[in-house]
Amino acid sequence: MRTRTTLTTAAAIAAAMALTGGAAQPVPDPVPDPTALHQQLWQQAAPQARIQQAPGAPQAVPGEGGLDARGLDAAVERLVDDGAIAVTARVEVGDDAWAGAAGDRTQDRRPPALPHSPFRAASNTKMLVATLVLQEVERGTWTLDTRIGDVDPTILPTHPEVTLRQLLSHTSGMPYGSDQLLLGHVDDPTSWEQTIAALGDRYPDEEHLAVAEAGPWTAPGGFVYSNVGYTTLGVALEAATGRSVADLLEERILDPLGMDRTRYPDEPGLRGTELREAMWDGAAWHDLQHFDPTYFSHAGAVVSTTEDLATFTEALVTGELVSQPLLDEMLAPVSTDVLEYGLGVYRVPDPCLPGQYLYGHDGASLGTLSVAYTSADGERQVTLGVTGRDSSGQVPGLYDLNGLLVPMLLATC
């Protein structure tokens, strides 16, 4: 099994975001380290911010100049021209908003993608699950330092000392887990055919927990991104409340915020105007309509839209969902090594305002990439979803996500 390594050069980051292909290679990592998108932002947006903020340069005022709809529309189209199947993107600055889309809902060029088309949000799910956990803390059910063994001793019987804070911040030492899950469902880890087929299997939460228990674990305190850690949090929520995570999300977040196009599926298939996923292996596309969301479970099952995710991130940082003291803990980085990750949220430099940050998450499923960021005051949101994932490992790949992400970020200045 490959060692997961964080890469910091631009070329290496592109390789880290890609899945390994070829007949002699091991099974690709299903969800790459989220630091990839974070590092891209830091390397490409932050230098432009420094130019704007250089001594003597006019100071950027977010939203002062209005949104460049024509330039953003062109950036969306370029990403599709370069190889993405579909793009849906949104920028909000105060009461001003731009939304754009290009490409098609499936790789066989059927109905067009729309600005309100839902997509698999993948690890953006972690922000929502973390919010549910903090709401339970606010209700007095737990504290952030509650041990998982005190929530339910059957969840992680050999690691009862792990705390909710550690699980939320990926500092428990628990493994990533998704690669181990997939390896347990294939006989030949070099076979693309078996790997793709195994994505349609069911992955009950008990299997996620078994992978978490089996390890290998590292010393607590260090940042090790863990999908099975968030599945553990979802199981803990269900044990404490007697409700499913899907019901909790609907009752506490989706309905109150009017996130009508967001859902928490537990069966394969994207439907209606939702953007179907496909993966490029360097020679052919693989349709992923059979993908079973139990593979991600509480770490990444949500399907959403750019508008709904922007609504959520704004509501989160402005205190609509979690009280200010807990919000402060959520946003403050627990780890600053590699990724400035708090409790289900990470931060990146705000390209418009020196010394300030954008908060949010990204998502990387096998067929979709997504980003959802908001400014600290909730006045500016940048959200996008791109289907057609290049998993070939070729550098450069089919398209450069920053060709759209950076103009969107700078459009808020």
CB-count burial class (<10 Å; 0-12, 13-18, 19+) for 12: middle
Q: Where are the chain's structural domains?
A: 10-411
Label residue 190 left, alpha or beta by phi (over 0 means left) and psi (-120 to 50 means alpha).
alpha
CB 155 within 8 A of CB 205: no
pLDDT of residue 36: 56
Question: In the prediction, which pLDDT does 43 show?
Answer: 56
Per-residue pLDDT of the chain (413 residues; tens, 9 = 90+): 222 222 222 222 222 223 223 333 334 444 444 455 555 555 554 554 444 444 444 444 454 556 899 999 999 999 999 999 999 999 999 999 999 999 999 988 789 999 999 999 999 999 999 999 999 999 999 999 999 999 999 999 999 999 999 999 999 999 999 999 999 999 998 888 999 999 999 999 999 999 999 999 999 999 999 999 999 999 999 999 999 999 999 999 999 999 999 999 999 999 999 999 999 988 889 999 999 999 999 999 999 999 999 999 999 999 999 999 999 999 999 988 778 999 999 999 999 998 999 999 999 999 999 999 999 999 999 999 999 998 887 777 899 999 999 999 999 99
Name the helix (H) or strand (E) containing 387: strand 380-387
Q: Is 74 exposed, middle or buried (0-12, 13-18, 19+ CB in 10 A)?
A: middle
Q: Residue 107's pLDDT is what?
A: 86
H helical segments located in 242-339 = 245-249, 255-257, 306-317, 324-331
**Is 313 strand, coil or helix?**
helix
Q: Per residue in 356-403, pLDDT tens?
A: 999 999 999 999 999 999 999 999 999 999 999 988 877 778 999 999
CB 31 within 8 A of CB 300: yes
Burial of 59 (0-12, 13-18, 19+ CB in 10 A): exposed
pTM of this prediction? 0.88
- Nearest Cα neighbor of 305 from 159, 148, 99 is 99
Specify the amino acid at residue 42: W
Bond from prior residue into 216 cis (ω within 30 degrees of 0): yes
Range 10-411 classified under CATH 3.40.710.10 = yes
Can you say whether residue 202 is alpha, beta or left, with left for phi > 0 and alpha for psi between -120 and 50 degrees? beta
The pLDDT, as a whole number, for residue 28 is: 45
Coil, strand or helix at 198:
helix
Task: Give the whole-angstrom CA distance, residue 257 versus residue 2.
Answer: 41
